[in-house]
């Protein structure tokens, strides 16, 4: 039994990304809504595994808030691809300060108001001196054609979950920070690079995230 309410929510897309956080902070599984998703907890910290994609992460955040309504801040940890112009090698850590939706492109008057760039709080990673960046979110890895179109959002990183989570938190007035580590370069070989580099750099990045999130449970 927990003697205090969960007040901080950390969302991770994949179970493999979450595992070093679970072991590193001594989190205990408290719920598994389905084979894909789980909730873990230690004291005021709740960790949620959502599954890949903005829809899954926003949905899991909603479930966590329903079950733990005292949550007052939200965080995200995960991997991201780096655009060539950013010159960020695999393993590099960044704190996301703004996220945009790259794959929702409706060139009609007034439509841009449905998917504006969203600001994040910076939070604990920024306090630790981790450099800030911008991130684009989409439902897949971006294509060269998409990246070359007029109006493609300027950013250093690209992921598949953060915009949905940021939209959810913005609507509810919850502060959100996101810590990303580079797992691949955005481009034609992104999937191959991800398969090769993700596990190589996951544990070092997770150690940093544990050190930051530990402030919530110490």
In a domain, 3, yes or no: no
Q: According to the model, what pLDDT value does residue 115 have? A: 78
Q: According to the model, what pLDDT value does residue 1 have? A: 46
In a domain, 61, yes or no: yes
Q: According to the model, what pLDDT value does residue 71 have? A: 98
φ/ψ bin of 164: left (φ > 0), alpha (ψ from -120 to 50), beta (otherwise): alpha
In a domain, 1, yes or no: no
In a domain, 2, yes or no: no
| Structural domain for 33, as ranges | 8-217
pLDDT digits (tens, 9 = 90+) for 40-92: 999 999 999 999 999 999 999 999 999 999 999 999 999 999 999 999 999 99
Q: What is the CATH number of the domain that holds 210?
A: 3.40.50.1580
DSSP 201: H
Q: Into how many domains does the chain fold?
A: 1
User: Which residues, given as ranges, of the chain have pLDDT below 50?
Assistant: 1
**DSSP string computed for 51-87:** -SSHHHHHHHHHHHHHH-TT--EEEEEEEEEE-GGG-
Q: Does the pTM exceed 0.75? A: yes
């Amino acid at each position: 039994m927990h003697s205090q309410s969960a007040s901080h929510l950390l969302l991770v897309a994949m179970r493999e990304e979450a595992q070093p956080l679970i072991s590193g902070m001594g989190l205990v599984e408290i719920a598994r809504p389905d084979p894909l998703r789980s909730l873990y907890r230690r004291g005021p910290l709740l960790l949620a595994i959502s599954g890949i994609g903005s829809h899954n992460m926003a949905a899991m955040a909603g479930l966590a808030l329903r079950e733990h309504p005292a949550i007052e801040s939200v965080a995200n940890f995960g991997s991201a691809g780096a655009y060539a112009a950013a010159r960020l090698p695999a393993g590099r850590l960044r704190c996301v300060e703004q996220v945009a939706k790259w794959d929702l492109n409706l060139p009609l008057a007034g439509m841009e108001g449905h998917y504006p760039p969203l600001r994040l709080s910076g939070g604990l990673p920024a306090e630790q001196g981790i450099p800030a960046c911008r991130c684009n979110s989409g439902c897949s890895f971006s294509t060269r054609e998409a990246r070359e179109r007029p109006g493609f959002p300027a950013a250093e990183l690209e992921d598949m979950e953060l915009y949905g989570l940021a939209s959810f938190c913005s609507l509810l007035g919850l502060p959100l920070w996101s810590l990303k580590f580079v797992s691949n370069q955005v481009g034609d070989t992104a999937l191959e690079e991800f398969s090769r580099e993700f596990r190589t750099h996951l544990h070092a990045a997770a150690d940093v995230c544990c050190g930051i999130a530990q402030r919530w449970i110490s």
